[in-house]
Structure 1
Amino acid sequence: MVACQHSTVSRALVASAVASVIALSGCGIVRDITGTREEYPLAEEVAEETTHEEGDPREEPAEVDFPYTREGQIFQDTGQDATLRFSVTGLERTDEYTVLYYENTYVDHFEGIVTNLSMPNTLVDPVSGQAFWEYTDEEGYYYGSVAPTPDGYPVEVGATNRYRRYFPRLPDEIKQVTFVGSGLGAMTGIPVVDVEEEQPDPVDPNGAEMIDHGPEPGEIVEFENLRPEPGAQEWVGEMESFVDSDVASTTRDGDTETVALKADVMFDFDSAELTDEAEEVVRQAARSLENNIDPDDPEITVIGHTDGRGDDDYNQDLSEERAETVREVLEEELGEGYGFTVEGRGASELIAREGGSDDEEARARNRRVEFAYRVDRSDEGLTSGRGEDLLGSSERHVFPPAKFVADDTAEVVATATDGDVRLDVHPLRRDGAYVISTVTLTNTGDEPVLPDMGGEDAVNPGGPTEFSQGALGGFQLLEPDTDLVRYVTLMNFGGETYSGFADEVHEMQPGNTYQLVAVFAAPPVEVRELTLRAGPFGEIEDVPFGK
């Protein structure tokens, strides 16, 4: 049998996937790996285990113990959903690049040319928020294990395929990463091992021999390897988070933070004068900016926006006046040492779609004054607890990377149903600057079903449309005590090349259970429970963090 692995044609054609921005519904599969080492060198000094309440986020992992294995059902494009055993058997950093080694074993039925529908293989540094895709050539083909046929790789139930893939060289300070791409959730705590040379190519690759008859159960299948060539395309992106409140929202994209003060709170109708309530909001915004800004680049851009109603000239003038008012108060609060640029953009940059059933909320979202600046990404800029006198949406809380867990679904903390689909909610997990929400969906009926995870119930009225990517993109985490709402994080690879860090849901087969994840910006350490807004399943209160 032959399997198309993650749009695998020869070296896995991904040009179309990159151009269309991994919508998380395309062929994003575990792509495949080679040779396992019996031993990996530990760091000279193995750090003590850290808790999520304290400790250096960049400490060495307590142990290096490959392989890291998960098993579960995954979506296939033919509907013949199969149980996959997936193992990361190595992650090596050389002077040139990072090499991922992994194995696939299909445990049950697997027929014909099928594709695992999951996120593309991605390495994420949960502390800095950097994300790394695989190297591609100019035509968009992946480097690494070479498929012996244009259709993909030979696969048989019970046989193990070994693969390797190449990623940009991870920065030296990264000790552990979170891997996504297997279709089995987020695999946290995968250690990075520094080596002088990567593992040698397979001595006797036998993948081409399996095209006609397929491998036997228990057989190991290996493929020829192609290393990145000069001019290989690097894909390094940033996690982009969005946290919302009644008075302000904060978007953090890599080293840039944008705070949007909601104009309806800040100004009366047709006015550029701050309301009494706005004085306190701007003061908190100034303290947050002072806390987060890069001291080596203290430049602030203030931009006013209106909704889509009204004359263009009127909107332009009003947006400029409001931006200037906010600049004056920020400058007064911050004192000397900061540079300001002020702009008005009228209704030219709407972030919520107007004219729908939530038109009033959307227009209110679009009426805003934003200020943007570069953030401090040094250790001094990392926090875990809630700061005093800061704008809640602008707090960034960073913890050590989560440890590897073989099964994120062992504990069920809540259950909800929508028709024949049962949603089981599992404990939240802190992972660096993020929190992972893991859920499982089960088709309890007798027929295949495609759950409707979207619709008006999935997103807050007037919510920003770009933060609803993926079927779980409409999920949100609500902090009840502060009313802060955390939207699903994006992986932004520049321009239009981004996607929601949330799984897509495909047609579910009767009796099958599927594991899915959505990733959000982390709340402070004192927050022990959050409310999960789960689209058609409603609000699920008191979802705890796991130990």
Structure 2
Amino acid sequence: MEDPYRRRSRGPTLPATMVTALAVSGCGLLGGPATAPPASSPAGTPPARPSSSVTVADTGLAKDGWFGLTRPLHARVEIRAVERLGDRSVLRLTVTSLEGEARHAGNSFGTAAGDLGSYRIPLVDPVGRKVYHPLTDRVGTLGSKPGYYQPGVRYETVVYYPPIPADVRTVTAITAGTAGEFTGVPVVDGTGSGGPQAPAAAPGGTPAPGATVSWPVREPSGQVTGSVQDLYGIVEGAERTTAASGSDETVGLRTDVLFAFDSDRLTARAEAVLDDVAAEIREKADPGTPPVLVEGHTDGKGTHAYNMALSLRRAQAVRGELAARLGGAYRYRTTGRGETEPVAREGGVNDEEARARNRRVEISYRIRQRTGGPASAGAGETGAAGGRPAPFHAEDGETVASRTSTGRPSGQRLRIDVKPFYRDGAYLVAVFDIVNLGPGDLGAGTGYGGDVAYIGGWYTAFSVVDPASRTVYRAVRMGPDDPRGPDDYVDPGWATFNVKPGTGNRGFFYVPAPPPGVTSVTFDAGPFGRIDAVPVR
């Protein structure tokens, strides 16, 4: 089972992550003590409903869904806009509980241990290929601090972020629930303090259904930090895997292509592969600092000492070939990681494939930054990264294919209902419902990672395939690969909200978009099998 609190704030990793520290006196964040009415009520059983209800309300972009981990809150979320206020940006939204009784906020909109009752909603710039995480201090996320949701009451909520550039006109808000992604959120210039505009909810009071009130906002304590990360699109071919952002790129070459078994001598086939990589480095890479990094990796077989030595020798062999092709324009750093940084879980039903993916040499370099054009563009424009940001995705559309999986050890049957996929800037959004057909409840931590998945995402065993080129597009990662633990991906942050038989959970994940002319793709849905001719809209 994945760590349920896996989505976390990252430390400063440059160039992929920009971390902004704001002094308390300079950030201008307003608020008061976070208090909540001392009331409680048990959770009701969620309706047997596999997907979210979606509407465009006069007050904003609205979706109904279930939010939270083991006690999901059924609620309507309406997002108004993101406002720029100089030293920060402010996401404005309202949350209306659709439950029949009062419910404590708990961890409904946050997935960070020790930061319960916070709104941890990443903001994705799908054209500029960046993600903005909420501002935090030593206590947790800054912004509205919810208490108890009374039925039918609209709770105005604000969440604070680092400044978003003026040329970004729309973003996508990623909520941790079945409502998922809110595309087409406008980014506008704001006025005032950035705090809530509705009257504050009275401590211990019970607002009338239909009323609009605001949560208290917690004042920052100590230094305030905001994280802006690059998004990395992962693309796989038969010989290589590329993880690329707008700032840097990592090319992972399978050592089964480069070397014979248990050898550090390059094969004849490796010559053409390294010719292509050297040409890409010459075209894209900044010959200044940092140096080109060449890292060797093995699978988990063999002793640690042997794997470390073999991985280093293989990295050195690749480094020598690159230097011979590129001359003295670049500097290099070569390391061997052995089996310590796998990208796939070994020991499962797909053990051989997982081990083959872990045997690799990775070549990482900084991309040369070109001037003369914006890094991103707003609605209706095409940015340098390619693609237009999607308008608000109001409807998922009709199911285009369904498959049933019965491969779970418990005998539980699941059905996936696939919806049309759609483009959002530089990415493709894969959308589906997964329905529990029984018998029994789903485990609260049920995910679909699989043995050959990238570790950390809930749907990273799934992929999208261009049937013409056979290129495989996998999940989009937030920030650089983190060898310390699971990575974060652009997905709901959790897979199972409703667990009862007959209920379902809407899922989605982002992959790099295939070329503009691709109008249908193959969806490799892991345990559900391959589904051809999924339309791309």
Change (3 A) 1:306 1:475: closer
Q: 1:364 aligns with which of 350, 356, 359?
A: 356
Q: 1:426 aligns with which of 413, 419, 422?
A: 419
1:537 counterpart residue number = 528
1:155 counterpart residue number = 150
Deviation at 1:179, TM superposition (A): 0.3
Matched, 1:185 2:180: yes
Matched, 1:292 2:296: no
| Aligned mates of 1:448, 1:202 — CA distance in 2 | 42
Q: Which amino acid aligns with 1:501?
A: V
| Aligned mates of 2:342, 2:162 — CA distance in 1 | 35
Contact 2:97/2:149, CA 8 A, preserved across alignment? no
Post-superposition CA distance 1:411-431 (Å, at most 9, x none): 322222346643221122222
SS in 2 for 1:179: strand
Q: 1:304 aligns with which of 289, 292, 296?
A: 296
Number of residues of Structure 1 aligned to a counterpart in Structure 2: 464
| Aligned mates of 1:129, 1:293 — CA distance in 2 | 18
Deviation at 1:186, TM superposition (A): 0.9
1:401 counterpart residue number = 389
Contact 1:155/1:161, CA 8 A, preserved across alignment? no
Q: 1:105 aligns with which of 77, 91, 96?
A: 96
Post-superposition CA distance 1:223-266 (Å, at most 9, x none): 33445466123233333333222211123367332211111111
Matched, 1:171 2:179: no
| Aligned mates of 1:511, 1:313 — CA distance in 2 | 51
SS in 2 for 1:131: strand
Greater Cα shift, 95-104 or 192-201: 192-201
Q: Which amino acid aligns with 1:489?
A: V
* Runs of 5+ consecutive residues of structure 2 not aligned to the other structure: 12-29, 32-56, 112-119, 376-383, 406-411
Change (3 A) 1:68 1:319: same
Change (3 A) 1:176 1:229: farther
Matched, 1:516 2:503: no
| Aligned mates of 1:204, 1:159 — CA distance in 2 | 13
Residues 46-65 of structure 1: matches in 2 within 5 Å? none
Deviation at 1:445, TM superposition (A): 6.4
Contact 1:240/1:252, CA 8 A, preserved across alignment? yes
Q: Which amino acid aligns with 1:412?
A: T
1:485 counterpart residue number = 472
Matched, 1:324 2:312: no
SS in 1 for 2:203: helix
1:127 counterpart residue number = 127
| Aligned mates of 1:510, 1:327 — CA distance in 2 | 54
Residues 198-213 of structure 1: matches in 2 within 5 Å? 198-199=193-194, 201-202=196-197, 204-210=199-205
2:331 counterpart residue number = 339
Change (3 A) 1:426 1:209: same
Deviation at 1:162, TM superposition (A): 1.0
Change (3 A) 1:442 1:308: closer
Contact 2:9/2:227, CA 8 A, preserved across alignment? no
SS in 2 for 1:237: strand
| Aligned mates of 1:203, 1:363 — CA distance in 2 | 56
| Aligned mates of 1:294, 1:68 — CA distance in 2 | 43
* Runs of 5+ consecutive residues of structure 1 not aligned to the other structure: 1-13, 22-32, 35-64, 384-395
| Aligned mates of 1:328, 1:20 — CA distance in 2 | 34
Deviation at 1:70, TM superposition (A): 2.5
SS in 2 for 1:482: coil
Q: Which amino acid aligns with 2:460?
A: G
Greater Cα shift, 318-327 or 108-117: 108-117
Contact 1:99/1:198, CA 8 A, preserved across alignment? no
Deviation at 1:144, TM superposition (A): 2.4
Residues 447-462 of structure 1: matches in 2 within 5 Å? 448-450=441-443, 454=447, 459=450
Q: 1:415 aligns with which of 395, 402, 405?
A: 402
2:20 counterpart residue number = none
Deviation at 1:207, TM superposition (A): 3.9
Matched, 1:283 2:278: no
Deviation at 1:433, TM superposition (A): 2.4
SS in 2 for 1:474: coil
1:251 counterpart residue number = 243
Contact 1:207/1:222, CA 8 A, preserved across alignment? no
Contact 1:240/1:251, CA 8 A, preserved across alignment? yes
Change (3 A) 1:127 1:215: same
Contact 2:96/2:153, CA 8 A, preserved across alignment? yes
Residues 87-102 of structure 1: matches in 2 within 5 Å? 87-102=78-93
Deviation at 1:98, TM superposition (A): 0.5
| Aligned mates of 2:368, 2:72 — CA distance in 1 | 48
Contact 1:489/1:520, CA 8 A, preserved across alignment? yes
Change (3 A) 1:252 1:382: farther
1:41 counterpart residue number = none
Change (3 A) 1:197 1:129: same
Change (3 A) 1:243 1:139: same
1:61 counterpart residue number = none
Contact 2:138/2:222, CA 8 A, preserved across alignment? no
1:197 counterpart residue number = 192
Post-superposition CA distance 1:394-438 (Å, at most 9, x none): xx963122222222x123222223466432211222222222111
Q: Which amino acid aligns with 1:249?
A: T
| Aligned mates of 1:496, 1:451 — CA distance in 2 | 21
Q: Which amino acid aligns with 1:127?
A: V
Contact 2:491/2:510, CA 8 A, preserved across alignment? yes
Contact 1:452/1:536, CA 8 A, preserved across alignment? no
User: Structure 1 vs Structure 2: percent identity of aligned residues?
Assistant: 31
Matched, 1:438 2:437: no
Deviation at 1:190, TM superposition (A): 1.3
TM-score, normalization by structure 1: 0.73
Greater Cα shift, 516-525 or 191-200: 191-200
Matched, 1:263 2:252: no
1:9 counterpart residue number = none
Q: 1:85 aligns with which of 62, 73, 76?
A: 76
Contact 1:323/1:343, CA 8 A, preserved across alignment? yes
Deviation at 1:200, TM superposition (A): 5.7
Change (3 A) 1:370 1:308: same
Contact 2:292/2:363, CA 8 A, preserved across alignment? yes
Change (3 A) 1:379 1:104: farther
Contact 2:96/2:149, CA 8 A, preserved across alignment? no
| Aligned mates of 1:97, 1:233 — CA distance in 2 | 11
| Aligned mates of 1:259, 1:436 — CA distance in 2 | 24
2:265 counterpart residue number = 273
Task: Report the RMSD for the aligned CA atoms in angstroms.
Answer: 3.8
Post-superposition CA distance 1:17-38 (Å, at most 9, x none): 74799xxxxxxxxxxx99xxxx
1:55 counterpart residue number = none
